[in-house]
Amino acid sequence: MNILRQNASRSTRLFKHTKRATVRRSSAVVGQSCPPNRSAPPSFPCVDAHAAREARLQQGFQDAISATQPSSASSSSGPEPPYARPSPRSCKIYHHSEPLELVYSESLRSFDIAYETWGTLSAKKDNVILLHTGLSASSHAASTEANPSEGWWEKFIGPGKALDTNQFYIICTNVLGGCYGSTGPSSFRPTDSSPDGAPQVRERYGTGFPVLSIFDMVRAQFKLLDGLGIDEVYASVGSSMGAMQSLAAGWLFPERVGKVVSISGTARSSPSAIAMRFAQRSVLMADPNWNKGFYYDGLPPHTGMKLARQIATITYRSGPEWDLRFGRKLRPSGELPARNSPASGPRIPALCPDFLIETYLDHQGEQFCLKYDANSLIYISKAMDLFDMTLSSLESLNLTPRGPRSAPPPVPPSHAALPCPDHYRSQLSHSKSHPPPNNPPVHLPDLAEGLRPLSRTPVLILGVQSDILFPVEQQREVADALRITGNDMVSYFELGGVWGHDTFLLDVMNVGGAIRGFLS
């Protein structure tokens, strides 16, 4: 994946040499920059970008090594990887020193959960909203005094917003397995104090980290709530993977979760969603820098991460949006002969990004590739694949369903300010009633049995018709399954529009309005 790497064997080095000679001899018509002289060697800036990034990181890495050399006890504790150096570390860290039981393997000996809060906890502690993130988000859902930078749900959290800080105390965590302060594959393993007091060699988990379940993530969150002395949350709210956590929270703790909001999620990952995440993991794991997950004392698999993010971005948006936004437009370029100019002939297309949709995907990948830990991506996306709330699956994991909620639905906590206008509801112009399914999926009864612990919990299911990752069929399926359990407190909305899966980040009016209505 980078030109700094060379085959070790002598014979391969020879081939490389021969290849370079071939390159020099060839004429080029395919480079991203199209020189008038067509006998110049082909230029592939999009490929060179990987090598340039590698060289830049290598230099930074060596500088960091030199800087830390005198004080470093062990090279394996090396410099911090780039994603571990975000803007001001503004989150709080809850440390849990007892073991956390896990679904698939032995327990975690101890763990940290990073979290941030907005609003004021009421004296009765009855106004808590537990907000769950999608795959790669941090706990920084909205700006705070400690960290004024914009959060990933900035427009949804604040006074008078969908999650109204005049009314609610909102807690958002970085998910277990993540890399923004919570324990994950990039964390150091806990060490025993050595009997002779000698310094211990600290090592990161890497792929020695246990495979996680969405249920593990939620249990870790509730250890945090225990630590904060919070018995019950008014509502559990999440989108995408956060919606899975939200459903799992209501399922694991029916008495502790008053209401559940699930936006663009699912209760059972489909094979096509698994396929799309598998493709991302495959390109990532094929990057030699990944090194089977032990790259923390070297360079991260930035090329694999870029390629994985390009694929992910395709699943986050929708074709209709791209039609409107990019169409078939090409990137502008001053160097190129003007398109449509009969004198100079048609512009020669590049094999590197040339259409605007290609430069968009390239940019998304480039932006992301050093921001997030590769192993966190692998573990968390795998946890999403494994999520399945059918009874047969839950039983196979020894997850014993509890009885449904016995308490009545919670009463909204009082406002700190004036009540908010109700105009959101009337603006849900895209919502439509949900017809009974013509061809219910075969697993629907099994899913309904699995969801029975949620049969007395008010649940909001919201989906988007242009979502290709969590399609509306899956939203309908969750709503149907809940109704089969006898739950008559299921609110169901489908949104139109062209934003696909990412609608939950963008459509403040409709997504925010549905949440406000449901929480009030």
Give the residue among 153, 113, 160 at the shortest CA–CA distance from 134: 153
Q: Which is nearer to a second copy, 31 or 412 (CB)?
A: 31
The span from the CA of 258 to the CA of 170, in Å, is 14
204 burial class (0-12, 13-18, 19+ CB within 10 angstroms)?
buried
Q: Which is nearer to a second copy, 2 or 455 (CB)?
A: 2
Cβ neighbours of 36 (radius 10 Å) = 8
- Choosing from 33, 72, 75, 149, the residue that interacts with a second copy (CB under 8 A) is 75
| Binding span for a second copy by CB under 8 A among 245-253, 377-385, 448-456, 507-515 | 377-385
The span from the CA of 59 to the CA of 51, in Å, is 12
Residues in the chain: 520
Does 144 participate in binding a second copy (rule CB under 8 A)?
Answer: no
CA-CA-CA-CA dihedral for 130, 132, 138, 141, to nearest 10: -60
Q: Please report how close the Cβ of residue 513 comes to a second copy at its closest, in angstroms.
A: 25
Does 508 participate in binding a second copy (rule CB under 8 A)?
Answer: no
Catalytic site includes residue 434: no
Which among 467, 480, 502, 507 is annotated as catalytic? 467
| Binding span for a second copy by CB under 8 A among 245-253, 283-291, 481-489, 507-515 | 283-291
Task: Decide: 488 and 409 in contact? Cβ < 8 Å.
Answer: no
Q: Which is nearer to a second copy, 115 or 215 (CB)?
A: 215
* 412 Cβ contact partners less than 8 Å away, ≥ 6 residues apart: 167, 234, 519, 520
Q: Which residues of 453-471 are buried (b: 16+ CB within 10 A; e: fewer)?
A: bbbbbbbbbbbbbbbbbbb
The span from the CA of 18 to the CA of 13, in Å, is 9
The span from the CA of 462 to the CA of 510, in Å, is 10
Cβ neighbours of 99 (radius 10 Å) = 12
Question: What tokens were used for 449?
Answer: 């049995």
Report how many residues bind a second copy under the rule CB under 8 A. Answer: 119
- Choosing from 33, 38, 150, 403, the residue that interacts with a second copy (CB under 8 A) is 38
Q: Which is nearer to a second copy, 15 or 93 (CB)?
A: 15
Does 477 participate in binding a second copy (rule CB under 8 A)?
Answer: no
Please list every residue from 253 through 282 that binds a second copy, using CB under 8 A.
Answer: 268-272, 274-276, 278-279, 281-282
Parallel, antiparallel, or unpaired for β 257-263 and 459-464? parallel
Which among 240, 246, 264, 269 is annotated as catalytic? 240
| Binding span for a second copy by CB under 8 A among 137-145, 168-176, 322-330, 415-423 | 322-330
The span from the CA of 370 to the CA of 147, in Å, is 21
Q: Which is nearer to a second copy, 319 or 409 (CB)?
A: 319
Does 103 participate in binding a second copy (rule CB under 8 A)?
Answer: yes
- Choosing from 110, 143, 207, 520, the residue that interacts with a second copy (CB under 8 A) is 207
- Choosing from 90, 183, 210, 264, the residue that interacts with a second copy (CB under 8 A) is 210
Does 160 participate in binding a second copy (rule CB under 8 A)?
Answer: no
Angle between helices 271-285 and 374-386 in degrees, nearest 10? 160
| Binding span for a second copy by CB under 8 A among 115-123, 226-234, 321-329, 507-515 | 321-329
Quote the radius of gyration of the chain (alpha carbons, Å): 25
Catalytic site includes residue 501: yes
- State whether residue 69 is helix, strand or coil: helix
| Binding span for a second copy by CB under 8 A among 174-182, 235-243, 379-387, 408-416 | 379-387
- Choosing from 156, 168, 295, 372, the residue that interacts with a second copy (CB under 8 A) is 295
Q: Which is nearer to a second copy, 388 or 494 (CB)?
A: 388
- Choosing from 84, 109, 122, 326, the residue that interacts with a second copy (CB under 8 A) is 326
Q: Using CB under 8 A as the criterion, what x/- string covers residues 343-372 for binding a second copy?
A: --xx-xx-xxx-xxxx--xx----------
CA-CA-CA-CA dihedral for 15, 17, 18, 23, to nearest 10: 120
Q: Please report how close the Cβ of residue 125 comes to a second copy at its closest, in angstroms.
A: 35
Catalytic site includes residue 231: no
Does 303 participate in binding a second copy (rule CB under 8 A)?
Answer: yes
- Choosing from 18, 87, 194, 427, the residue that interacts with a second copy (CB under 8 A) is 18
- State whether residue 164 is helix, strand or coil: strand
| Single-letter code of the amino acid located at 279 | A
Give the residue among 440, 212, 464 at the shortest CA–CA distance from 316: 464
Parallel, antiparallel, or unpaired for β 233-239 and 257-263? parallel
Does 476 participate in binding a second copy (rule CB under 8 A)?
Answer: no
Does 506 participate in binding a second copy (rule CB under 8 A)?
Answer: no
Q: Which is nearer to a second copy, 159 or 349 (CB)?
A: 349
- Choosing from 67, 73, 146, 286, the residue that interacts with a second copy (CB under 8 A) is 286
Q: Please report how close the Cβ of residue 418 comes to a second copy at its closest, in angstroms.
A: 41
Please list every residue from 187 through 206 that binds a second copy, using CB under 8 A.
Answer: 203-206
Q: Which is nearer to a second copy, 61 or 118 (CB)?
A: 61
Give the residue among 270, 248, 273 at the shortest CA–CA distance from 450: 248
- Choosing from 80, 226, 323, 488, the residue that interacts with a second copy (CB under 8 A) is 323
- State whether residue 483 is helix, strand or coil: helix
Catalytic site residues?
240, 467, 501
